Amino acid sequence: MRTEIPKPLIGLISQLLGTYYTHAEINQICLYADAFGDEPGGNKINKTQQWLINTNKELSYDPLKTLGKILEEHFLEPQFPNNPKYIYLLDKIKSCLEEYSLTYIPHGKIIYNNLSQPTKNLEEKIREIDIPSLTYEFERALENINNNLKESISAASNILETICKVYIEDEQLEKPKNLDLKSVFEIVRNDLNFKPQNIEDQDLKQILSGIISVVQGIASLRTHSSSAHGQGKKTYQLEPRHARLAVHSAHTIALFILETWDKKKQSKKSSL
């Protein structure tokens, strides 16, 4: 799905480049970002604005790819950290991205994705625990959720699988013979007491049973239709809504595992 750069964002980017860069530097930035066409005329702000508008109009271009490359160095590290006006403008750009359901992913990528709250919370948690492989799979799932559905579903499954493997290693549990998602999740859910039969509340019992079924479904969908394995005779007609369902479900369950693990750690500390 092709998404154009929103007009308010074009205004903010034009202000950013036009205020803090020379004509030559703007040319260099836009060439690096592969903005469409030759350098427009006019002052620095008008030139940047027209360049981005031209990129939006060119149907063979991905405007968000250009936008991501322009913002890359600013999101990696603020370029003028001691300038309050620059920091304020950068914050406005971030707010504008969020307003239009645009998400920046490291290495200069912008994706359109209306993130659910569990996904936002999981993103914060993943940054906090700092596991490179988990960060990679999280970003891969979001990056491909609208365009490469098989990759996105594969990454969603890998997020759960990675969390379970880290849990097993950190808690020094015995590894299963098979290290696929279904097997490692079985070890983790038993250790965290995700056992419906042990829950008296019928509503929670149903939810826990549903979690188990969803994890098994995500694992099976990945096996049957994703890039992780060769496909058999049956072809899955995946749509973006299917990928979003798998990804958001995986994120909700991943967050529940991490939060329950945190509670377990706190209980251990309080008993010392």
Of 27 and 129, more confident: 27
> Token pair of 111, please?
């994706």
- Reported as a single tens digit per residue, the pLDDT across 197-229 is 777 778 888 888 899 999 999 998 888 765 444
Q: Is residue 2 part of a domain?
A: no
Q: Is residue 14 part of a domain?
A: yes
Identify whether residues 256 and 221 lie together within a single domain: yes
Listed residues 62, 84, 112: the one ending a domain: 112
Domain of residue 240 covers 117-271
Among the residue ranges 54-58, 105-109, 213-217, 251-255, the one predicted with the least confidence is 105-109
Confidence (pLDDT) at 114: 61
Listed residues 50, 79, 112: the one ending a domain: 112
pTM of the full structure? 0.64
Confidence (pLDDT) at 227: 47
Q: Is residue 27 part of a domain?
A: yes
Q: What is the pLDDT confidence band of residue 15, given thresholds at 50, 70 and 90?
A: very high
Q: Is residue 154 part of a domain?
A: yes
Q: What is the pLDDT confidence band of residue 270, given thresholds at 50, 70 and 90?
A: low
Identify whether residues 124 and 258 lie together within a single domain: yes
Identify whether residues 186 and 96 lie together within a single domain: no
Percent with pLDDT over 90 in the chain: 54
Identify whether residues 177 and 229 lie together within a single domain: yes
Q: Burial level of 237, CB count in 10 A (0-12/13-18/19+)? A: exposed
Listed residues 77, 112, 147: the one ending a domain: 112
C-alpha to C-alpha distance for 121 and 215, rounded to whole angstroms: 19
C-alpha to C-alpha distance for 106 and 253, rounded to whole angstroms: 24
- Reported as a single tens digit per residue, the pLDDT across 39-49 is 999 999 999 99
Residue type at 228 in one-letter notation: A
Identify whether residues 259 and 198 lie together within a single domain: yes
Alpha-carbon separation of residue 115 from 65, 75, 91, 118, 244 (angstroms): 19, 19, 19, 8, 10
Identify whether residues 140 and 243 lie together within a single domain: yes
